[in-house]
Every structure is written in structure tokens, then in C-alpha cells.
Structure 1
Amino acid sequence: MKDMIGYCGLDCEKCDAYLATVNNDQALREKTAKLWAELNNAPILPEHINCEGCRVNGAKTVFCEHMCEIRKCALKKGVSTCGDCPELETCPTIGEILENNPSALENLK
């Protein structure tokens, strides 16, 4: 499995925060911050949009580093991704991601 697949199976390389970071794209940072602030009803600013992937060393968004319950669980269990967890198919923590993103489940297999 490639390093840029998140603990949840989403592909970090397709995430706007990752793309804005690796390409130093301020316009994409601003667009992403505005969208995420609206979606989450939270004060998300362009300077918050810096992430190099949740499973690699480097910058992470505040959500990815401190608030993502999936990442917290995987780190606590010591698994590389949720695909290594025997509870994957029944886990309520990752359930919504897998339900709405069939490619995430494929990435974990």
C-alpha cells in the first residue's frame, strides 16, 4: 500500500490540503479553507491548510493531527491503516467514510 493512503483509506494525494501544500498553492489554500469552514461551521483559515499526509512525517491539518477519530484509533491500535484492523467491516468509526467512498475500502485491501 502506498504511503499516501490515509488510515481511513482515502487517498491523501487527492486531498486539496495536500495539493495546496506540496504545490504551495495559496489560491487553493484559500478556496479549501473557505469551503471547509462552511462545511464544518468552523473558523478554518488558509494558514490552517497545510498537510503532507496523515501517515507520513510532516505538516498536518489541525483536524487530521488532533481531531480525526480514525487516525487516533489506528495509532492507538498500532495498525498501519484500518485495513489491518480485524474490526474494519463493522467499525462505526470508519463506517461513514467507507459507505460514502467505495474507493477507500478498495485502497485498504
Structure 2
Amino acid sequence: MSLKEELGTDIESYLRGEQPSQDAMTKAARIDDWAPLISRGLRGGYVMTLVGKVSNHPAVADGKVTETSEICWLDRERRWARTRSRLWLLGEPEGSEIAVDGLEL
């Protein structure tokens, strides 16, 4: 299954009120000391990403500060988030306000 198909399947399940499986949560990358960032996306619209210290990511060293790809779904209780490419477990947030990257509001 492609990443696009996986994302679509996941979003459909979230719309039905389902949560990620325990297996998916166990395998998920984790982000700690995270903060949301709002910026302009590639198509000119606004997107939200998260910036924080990563662990359990297949391509990023543990402890490295990283920005996720665009958030597609954010758990209401802020336990997890789904980006275009993966599920993220959310550790403690950094505590700052949402950064608006060079945007005129």
C-alpha cells in the first residue's frame, strides 16, 4: 500500500472515531518538547507542522530537533498526530504559542 493509500485509510478510520492500533502506536516515531508551527505550504495555503526532539524515527537520530511534514490529523487529546508520511506519538509540548512563520494575518 502506498503512503497516500495508507493516509486515506487512516483518515477514514479517524473519521469513524477510531484510534491508531496499539501496534501502530508502539512503532510510531515520538516527538518531545514539541511546538506547532504554521507556515505557507507548497501550494500557497497554510499548513501546520510540529517542531521538536525526535526519537524512534527510522531516518532521524534520537534527540535531534526536527520539523515534521504537514499535520493531516491531530488527536483532540494531543496524544498523537498523523502527518502525510507517518504517525507520531506526542510527548510533552514545549509550551510556547503557535509560531506563525512570516505570515501576515
TM-score calculated relative to the size of structure 2 = 0.25
Using the size of structure 1 for normalisation, the TM-score is 0.25
Instruction: Considering fraction of residues, name the structure with more strand.
Output: 2
Structure (1 or 2) with the greater helix fraction: 1
